[in-house]
Amino acid sequence: MSQAVDEIKIGGLGASRRRVEDNRFIRGKGNYTDDIVLPGMLHMEILRSPLAHARIKSIDASKAWDIPGVHLVLTGEMMATRNLAWMPTLSYDTQAVLATDKVRFQGQEVACVIADDPYIAKDACEAIVVDYEPLPVIVNPTQAVAEGAPVIRDDKENQPDNVIYDWEVGDRDGTDRAFAGADLVSKLELHYPRSHPSPIECCGSIADFNRATSKLTVYMTTQAPHIIRAAVAMVAELPEHMIRIVSPDIGGGFGNKVPIYPGYVCSILASILLERPVKWIEDKSGNLISTGFARDVYLKGEMALRKDGKILAVRMHTDADHGAFFSDAQPSKFKIGLMHSAFAAYDIPVAHLTARGTYSNKAPGGVAYRCSFRVTEAMFFQERMVQAAADDLGIDQAQIRAMNFVRDDQFPHRTPFGFLTDSGQYGKCLDVALKAIDYENFRREQAEARSRGRLLGLGISTMTEPLGAGNSREYDILGIKMFDSADLKVHMTGKAILRTGAKTQGQGHETTWAQIVAHELGIPAEDVVVEEGDTDTAPFGMGTYASRSTPVAGAAVAMVSRKIRAKARKLAAHLLEVSEEDIEWELGRFYVRSAPDRGVTIQECAIAAYSNMPDGMEPGLENTAYYDPPNLTWPFAVYIATVEVDPQTGVWDVLKLVAVDDCGVRINPMIVEGQIMGGLTEAYAMSNMQFITFDAEGNCVGSNYMDYLLPTAWETPGFELHSEVVTPCPHHPIGAKGIGECAAVGGPAAFVNAVMDALSGTGVRNIDMPMLPDRVWEAITYRRDVSGAPPVRSDD
């Protein structure tokens, strides 16, 4: 007699199942791009520009060609003969593959050498002689729009200056009116500095073109293999069915592996020309200096306030430095990502945002790094502005938030910038966090410590994040609508293989997707193998970024499981010899409503699909689902940090950090906690130690791990996580919202607000990240703001 299965025992929803992928990772048995070795494979290295802005007078590669073991030297000139010197970007701009006319940032790709081994290729790169004529350099938006600034993109028609876009959203007039009626206007200016996703594994590709079959296979580090396939089809003019993109194991993506990089394109062309596999593996400096960075946005913010703390309106202006090419991967409709998700958690009647994007002599990027398209900046600005407003009004930090939050009964809520948030319990999350940090008590301790010259501070940060692009009505990239997919094949023994259009980079999809199948079908998670990243076998999908996998691909997993269950029900009716209407489902089993003892397991249905199906039924138990979400999912979180600042040295230490994350139903609580811990660690690093900037000549300062610091367990403070607030997503099939980026998005403002709180009363309004000891010390000692990125700082 069959029985329902216990969901937690089979690794279903809510089980903290150990990550199955870790079995191979911790044994050193992962299969990363650089682990792949193909017969006859050659190696490619890239020659990068030492200068940030210069005209190329000539390139002499003859000495490189002469080196034994060199098979090919690619230059911009050669690429141009195949119309490949430039490629389109994901934001309707163009990007140089190999420089022809000018170099526009330090580290730009100038030439490639393909040789028997990477060492020969590297030596040959050094034998290439490039004659540069240096040009004036631009490293920030102020310089970009200054009178007489050199035009960086003189390759483009209709580009008389360095402005990429001027964009606005919201209600300008309504906002002006609200400001006119305000009791107080609070203002804040700050800079969210450039940061870098810096995955441990750098980018790389192995292109393998087979002339006999006309098939191009590319193994590569991409978070979105299907997008790459479409892009290669368009750029290289190859038929799409003859292109196979495989993303093997990925050693961290964090957004860095979304864009299309010149190295990928060059390895593909080299393989086509040489008819041999060509491997390119980027080195660490190459990764830090040339691949998609994040942020680098300047903000001017204003809040219209009523005396009691009610926020009447918000005005924001952002200046974004996009580097030399506008290559952000973001939904086409928006120019500055989802920056206008700012203040989505607050009930604000009206708001207006203007945004200007400019070119500079820096590597292209701007959008990527653990953020749903600029949400990190949006939430940071929001929480810094709310803190400044509370200080200006002299009211409590927690109170101003609580009184302005969207209430639980106001959902779905239309934000002043037009988003529709779906659900949440913002006040409750804040209460839990305040209790966990023992708010009142800390304020007493703080005052007491202050009287003895010790500087303690407490910083509150909240965030809500629009996760899961699409829906396809509103979200597309280069016209391709955003949705996702899952394909489930249940074999005759009841074991299954699941494939999705997403691509895990460490998030644990192999573990969690199987848990969704277990939840829907009662097939033990360990009986479901999950495979992603091979465009020949995976259903079409837009890939993994913007924490969209659970909201979209994860929903597709639930939906395809339900399709399988619907068919299994018919098989069950046949096996039990009753009509389908008389069949009931409980986890793992169908039974006859009037005789619950008479049942069949999902596994018995599976074998029947291959051996005993009713007349006229199509055999097999397989299906595919494409899921176009009705809306984004909106998780919410509160992070509160307490710190102590040493006024003598400017060093600050975290005393405690509490995190209350509401990401709806948690599929795997342990993985969710891992995501939060990882995000908080990155948030801490950004606020505390990571510095990647440029000198006046455009030299990248911080292009190595001596300068750009990755936090280890040693520096990272402990985090206290709270999971008791759960608001199921009303439109997601299993009630889940995304979580992958929340802590990296909301975390930084908690640390900065805490340090600023410690300095309250000194007249210092802002210290920009990273809050290095010298900056904090300078602020304390000279009682002034320390804002902006070198070489231009507010005090210069």
Residue numbers at the binding site for ligand CUM (CB under 6 A): 223, 253-255, 258, 368-371, 545-546
User: Of 577, 670, 559, nearest to 625 (Cα)?
Assistant: 559
Out of 358, 549, 623, 690, the only residue in the binding site for ligand MCN (CB under 6 A) is 549
549 binds, among ligand CUM, ligand MCN, none (CB under 5 to 8 A by kind): ligand MCN
The answer to whether 527 and 495 are in contact (CB under 8 A) is yes
CB under 5 to 8 A by kind: which of ligand MCN, ligand CUM, none does 664 bind?
Answer: ligand MCN
C-alpha 492, offset from chain centre: 39
**Of ligand MCN, ligand CUM, none, which one sits near residue 736, judging by CB under 5 to 8 A according to partner kind?**
ligand MCN
Q: How far is the CB of 713 from ligand MCN (least distance, A)?
A: 15
Are 758 and 779 in contact by the 8 Å Cβ rule? The answer is: no
Among 323, 424, 501, 508, binds ligand MCN (CB under 6 A): 508
Residue 382 annotated in active site: no
Q: Is residue 255 at the binding interface for ligand MCN, with CB under 6 A as the rule?
A: yes
d(CA 512, CA 528): 10
**CB contact at 8 A, 373 and 337:** yes
Determine which one of 95, 108, 143, 223 is catalytic. Answer: 223
Nearer to ligand MCN, 467 or 621 (CB): 467
What Å distances lie between residue 379 and 258, 338, 385, 445, CA to CA? 22, 10, 10, 29
204 vs 253, beta carbon nearer ligand CUM: 253
Hey, what are 424's tokens? 């949440």
State which of residues 672, 700, 749, 756 lies at the interface with ligand MCN (CB under 6 A): 672
User: Two tokens at 566?
Assistant: 């619907």
**Minimum distance, C-beta of residue 344 to ligand CUM, in the bound complex (Å):** 17
- Which of the residues 713 through 742 are near ligand MCN (CB under 6 A)? 736-741
222 binds ligand MCN (CB under 6 A): no
Q: Omega of the bond prior to 262 within 30 degrees of 0, cis?
A: no
Closest approach of ligand MCN to the CB of residue 22, in Å: 11
C-alpha torsion sign, points 175, 180, 185, 188: positive
Pick from ligand CUM, ligand MCN, none: which does 673 bind, CB < 5 to 8 A by kind? none
**519 — alpha (psi -120 to 50), left (phi > 0) or beta?**
alpha
In three state form, how does the secondary structure of 585-603 look?
EECCEEEECCEEEEEEEHH
- 54 vs 258, beta carbon nearer ligand MCN: 258
Is the Cβ of residue 143 or residue 222 nearer to ligand CUM in the bound state?
222
Write down the H helix ranges in 467-530: 509-521
Rounded CA-CA distance 346/338 in Å is: 16
Beta bridge partners, 489, equal 497, 622
Output the smallest distance, CB 201 to ligand MCN, in A: 10
CB closer to ligand CUM out of 375 and 389: 375
Query: Kind of pairing, strands 204-210 and 293-294?
Result: unpaired
Q: Which of ligand CUM, ligand MCN, none sits in contact with 258, Cβ below 5 to 8 A by type?
A: ligand CUM
Residues 6+ apart with CB under 8 A from 502: 484, 509, 532, 541, 543, 544, 548, 549, 552, 553
Least spacing, CB of residue 324 vs ligand MCN, in Å: 23
Cα 364 off chain centre by = 16
Out of 509, 567, 722, 775, name the contact with ligand MCN by CB under 6 A.
Answer: 509
Residue by residue, DSSP assigns 359-379 as --SS-SEEB-SSSSSSHHHHH
Q: In the complex with ligand CUM, which residue's Cβ is closer, 193 or 599?
A: 193
Cis peptide before 136 (omega within 30 of 0): no
The helix/strand count (H/E) of the chain reads as 19, 36
370 is catalytic: yes
545 binds ligand MCN (CB under 6 A): yes
633 binds ligand MCN (CB under 6 A): no
Of 507, 741, 765, 775, the active-site residue reads 741
- 147 is an active site residue: no
- CB of residue 195 vs ligand CUM: minimum separation in angstroms? 11
Q: Find the binder of ligand MCN among 416, 457, 506, 524 (CB under 6 A).
A: 506
Beta bridge partners of 357: 165, 320
The tokens describing 497, both together, are: 């293989």
Q: Which is nearer to ligand MCN, 14 or 620 (CB)?
A: 14
Which residue number, 75 or 222, has a Cβ lying nearer to ligand MCN? 222
Q: Kindly list the strands in the beta sheet with 54-60, ordered across the sheet, starting from the edge strand earlier in the chain.
A: 102-103, 54-60, 129-134
Active site includes 371?
A: yes
> What is the closest distance, in whole angstroms, from the C-beta atom of residue 207 to ligand MCN in the complex?
23
Q: Which structure tokens are listed for 639? A: 């992070």
Q: Shortest approach of ligand MCN to residue 760 CB, angstroms?
A: 33
Residue from 229, 295, 370, 384 carrying the catalytic annotation: 370
Label each residue of 153-196 as H, E or C.
CCCCCCCCCCEEEEEEEECHHHHHHHHHCCCEEEEEEEEECCEC
The Cα–Cα gap between 168 and 223 comes to 30
The region of 81-89, 253-261, 645-653, 775-783 touching ligand MCN under the rule CB under 6 A is 253-261
Residue 547 lies near ligand MCN (rule: CB under 6 A)? yes
- Which of 292, 664, 702, 788 is close enough to bind ligand MCN by CB under 6 A? 664
Determine the interface stretch with ligand MCN among 454-462, 506-514, 573-581, 752-760 (rule: CB under 6 A). 506-514
Binding partner selected for residue 382 from ligand MCN, ligand CUM, none, CB under the kind-specific 5 to 8 Å limit = none
Q: Is the peptide bond before 747 cis (omega within 30 degrees of 0)?
A: no
Of 65-73, 661-669, 750-758, 773-781, the segment contacting ligand MCN by CB under 6 A is 661-669
Inter-residue contact 269 to 218 (CB < 8 Å): no
Query: Which of 125, 202, 203, 371 is flagged as catalytic?
Result: 371
Q: Catalytic residue positions?
A: 223, 370-371, 741
Binding site for ligand MCN (CB under 6 A): 252-255, 370, 505-509, 512, 544-550, 554, 663-668, 671-672, 675, 678, 736-741
